[in-house]
Amino acid sequence: MKVRKAVIPAAGLGTRVLPASKAMPKEMLAIVDKPAIQYIVEEAVQSGIEEIMIITSRGKTTVEDHFDRAPELENVLLQRGKKDVYDEIVSISKLANISYIRQKETKGLGHAILCAKAFVGNEPFAVLYGDDVIKADYPVCRQLCDAYEEFGLGVAGIKEVSEEAIQKYSSLKVDPIRDNLFRVSDMIEKPSSPDQVLSLYSILGRCVLPPEIFAILEKTPPGTGGEIQLTDAMKKLAQVKGMVGVDFIGKRYDMGNKLGILEAIVEIGLEHKEVGADFREYLKKMASQL
């Protein structure tokens, strides 16, 4: 079945990037001149997604404003003859068919996804984590949808992480299928000791799930950190039906931590068509003084 819908959870508190995220959603932090969540919506659209639901929360209305029309600003841009900028600003509001729902309490990623139950209905859907920007020639959400459409099983975007990092992520039991595809039969969220680690493969930023996940989520008790973990529900799915892991081809930037934000700005800034060349010169000069 074709994957037409996507859910972007963006209701978290962003405690790792405070104070930046106190009044500004971390999903709205700019990489050069574009908020993180716009890169993510663009990836979904480029992947063939037709309808998007963004999960927001109190204090995140700037997300809705960003994808809305801005008549005052648009008029001023037209009056000043800035047609290029006007076109770009208007195009953001036409990117996709986006709806919003508020997660009233920050009870975890699993709980956030559950808020999209009525929107998703009885079809598969992609999940793009609102603070994970992934740059790729072939959109990573599309890479996962391809796997879903081939195997008809839930799909997780996976990557190997270091031994030190695995305790902060999930750890998956994987068996190779072919190329960058794996069968996933078990997983654990934030393994607390080395004997709990199933492999260094972890779920990073993207998945495609069947609608059955909602019935599982409804029965999933709070796990690590007292939050309803999406990983705990996917574990059940992996154990009962099996899932597929796609070791995706793309570079992920974690906008939920400070180093990730700096990496994104530097690497995407270097390729920016307006300022990239000047920025490169600046960086070379800086680097020679380090």
CB of 69 to ligand UTP, least distance (A): 25
- For residues 140 and 181, which CB has a smaller minimum distance to ligand UTP in the complex? 140
Cα separation, 186 vs 171, whole angstroms: 9
CB of 26 to ligand UTP, least distance (A): 7
Cα diameter, the chain: 65
- For residues 27 and 43, which CB has a smaller minimum distance to ligand UTP in the complex? 27
CB of 243 to ligand UTP, least distance (A): 19
- For residues 167 and 239, which CB has a smaller minimum distance to ligand UTP in the complex? 167
Cα separation, 185 vs 5, whole angstroms: 25
16 token code pair? 């790792």
CB of 10 to ligand UTP, least distance (A): 5
Cα separation, 155 vs 167, whole angstroms: 22
* Residue 176: Cβ within 10 Å count: 11
- For residues 108 and 154, which CB has a smaller minimum distance to ligand UTP in the complex? 108
Which residue's CB atom is positioned nearest to ligand UTP? 12
- For residues 130 and 139, which CB has a smaller minimum distance to ligand UTP in the complex? 130
- For residues 185 and 224, which CB has a smaller minimum distance to ligand UTP in the complex? 224
Q: Which residues bind ligand UTP (CB under 6 A)?
A: 9-16, 27, 55, 103, 106-109, 111-112, 129-131, 256
CB of 148 to ligand UTP, least distance (A): 21
R_g (Cα) of the chain, nearest Å: 19
CA distances from 153 to 51, 145, 209, 240, 265 (A): 21, 10, 8, 11, 35
CA proximity to 209, closest of 117, 95, 82: 117
- The answer to whether 193 and 158 have CB atoms below 8 angstroms apart is no
- For residues 103 and 170, which CB has a smaller minimum distance to ligand UTP in the complex? 103
The three-state secondary structure class of 112 is: helix
CB of 230 to ligand UTP, least distance (A): 8
Which residues are CB-contacts of 175 (< 8 A; sequence separation ≥ 6)?
Answer: 182, 183, 185
Cα separation, 218 vs 230, whole angstroms: 11
Residue the block writes with tokens 């808020």:
115
CB of 279 to ligand UTP, least distance (A): 27
